[in-house]
């Protein structure tokens, strides 16, 4: 860990000057307490750095939470062993999963299936209690539940160090969460202009605790976070159903972990109650289970938090980009992606060139930097990868 300024600490050994400068700018906001913490996977983001933990007193910066509210990971350990997959056509399993779950941006379910019905009802009740109608943001939000999205979101079948089979996926609150986030970012920016508040960057606009705008944001944020959690649960149930059908045996869950990495919670740190916005970071309280995925084609990790107080009990959420999507497309080729994905069943397409492992920081370096934040329980290597364009 490095102390970069009085209000900025960093666990990142691989980090560029622009990312440090962005984080330094965020750390100068007057309500930061006690400091902003950069995780090992930190890289440039919208307004605030991805891979940062931002504790604030009496205010929240909506852009510092991220536009994919509640984005995170879920993993399930099954009773199956690698030997159960011997001789099986994994392309068939991948295609089954792709048929069961809508992939890519803008893709939703055609109908609300039986497993989704109680989850939709739960979200309807939660929205009513929060005093807002999610259809004002996305009229088809119910159909979005149980859909993956695109970018770095994925579904994987993986093996751990004992060759036990895991199901693993990454997704968030889809279009409805994004629109909620974008709305409140604009509200914060409008209020900053209205009150002549000078900001070092427009995306550091904030909402003040105790105001109607803050209260509405927290209510809708919490709804979106819960939508994201249930979205992952719904997809995981579908993956489990497909894996069970593929192996002619229902999945028995041995362990299930579901954690956010774009979210805000009220927590107590360094003697004060603060809002902790983790933008690309997971909770890592002592003993808390967590998930840290690598990039497409590299290892992922099931971890346990060590409760490091300087990190505000946090850890990285993944590998962290080294190349932007446009730069990755200019730098790498489809053949290089094929080489990186050797031995892994995936959909071979140019659409995933910007997700090539070389576009990300080496996950083993990130995990080495995080040694005082988490303990590794399992190392996973994927054998099937599903992504949206």
Q: What are the two backbone dihedrals, phi and then psi, of residue 386, each rounded to the nearest 5 degrees?
A: -125, 130
Pairing state between β 154-159 and 164-171 = antiparallel
Q: Quickly list H helices, 247-360.
A: 325-331, 334-340
The Cα–Cα gap between 328 and 175 comes to 25
Residue 184 bears catalytic tag: no
DSSP line for 241-256: HHHHHHTTS----SEE
Structure tokens given for 149: 């999205």
The Cα–Cα gap between 259 and 55 comes to 19
DSSP 32: B
Q: How many CA atoms lie within 13 A of 324 on its CB side?
A: 7
CA-based nearest residue to 277, from 55, 32, 29: 55
CB 84 within 8 A of CB 165: yes
CB 266 within 8 A of CB 339: no
Q: Choose the catalytic residue: 43, 184, 260, 317.
A: 317
| DSSP helix/strand/coil, 58 | coil
Q: What share of the chain is helix, strand, coil (3-state, %, to 5)?
A: 35, 25, 35
CA-based nearest residue to 172, from 280, 302, 296: 280
The Cα–Cα gap between 324 and 327 comes to 5
Sheet of 8-10: strand order equals 2-5, 8-10, 36-43, 50-56, 272-279, 262-269
Structure tokens given for 101: 């779950």
> How many other C-beta atoms lie within 10 A of the C-beta of residue 186?
12
Q: How far apart are the first and last CA of the chain?
A: 37
Active site residues: 317
């Amino acid at each position: 860990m490095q102390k970069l300024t009085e209000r900025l600490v960093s666990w990142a050994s691989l980090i560029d000057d622009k990312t440090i400068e962005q984080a330094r700018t965020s750390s100068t906001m007057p309500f930061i307490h006690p400091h902003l913490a950069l995780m090992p996977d930190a890289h440039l983001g919208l307004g605030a750095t991805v891979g940062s933990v931002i504790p604030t007193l009496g205010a929240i910066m909506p852009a510092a939470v991220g536009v994919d509210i509640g984005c995170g990971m879920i993993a399930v350990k099954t009773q199956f062993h690698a030997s159960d997959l011997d001789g099986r056509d994994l392309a068939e399993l991948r295609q089954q999963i792709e048929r069961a779950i809508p992939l890519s941006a803008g893709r939703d379910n055609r109908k609300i299936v039986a497993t989704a019905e109680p989850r939709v009802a739960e979200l309807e009740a939660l929205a009513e209690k929060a005093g807002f109608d999610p259809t004002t943001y996305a009229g088809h939000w119910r159909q979005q539940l149980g859909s993956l999205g695109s970018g770095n979101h994925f579904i994987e079948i993986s093996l751990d160090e004992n060759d036990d089979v895991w199901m693993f996926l990454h997704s968030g609150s889809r279009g409805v969460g994004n629109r909620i986030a974008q709305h409140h970012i604009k509200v914060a920016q409008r209020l900053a202009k209205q009150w002549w508040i000078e900001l070092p960057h427009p995306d550091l606009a904030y909402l003040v605790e105790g105001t109607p705008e803050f209260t509405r944001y927290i209510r809708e944020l919490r709804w979106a976070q819960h939508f994201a959690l249930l979205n992952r649960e719904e997809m995981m149930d579908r993956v489990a159903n497909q894996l069970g059908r593929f192996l002619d045996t229902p999945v028995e869950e041995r362990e299930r972990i579901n954690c956010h990495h774009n979210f805000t919670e009220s927590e107590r740190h360094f003697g004060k109650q603060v809002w902790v916005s983790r933008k690309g970071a997971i909770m890592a309280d002592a003993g808390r289970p967590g998930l840290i995925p690598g990039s497409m084609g590299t290892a992922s990790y099931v971890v346990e938090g060590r409760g490091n107080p300087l990190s505000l009990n946090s850890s990285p959420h993944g590998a962290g980009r080294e190349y932007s999507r446009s730069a990755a497309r200019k730098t790498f080729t489809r053949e290089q992606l094929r080489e990186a994905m050797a031995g892994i069943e995936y959909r071979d397409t140019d659409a995933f060139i910007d997700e090539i492992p070389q576009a990300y920081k080496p996950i083993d370096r990130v995990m080495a930097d995080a040694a005082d934040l988490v303990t590794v329980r399992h190392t996973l290597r994927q054998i099937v990868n599903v992504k949206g364009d």
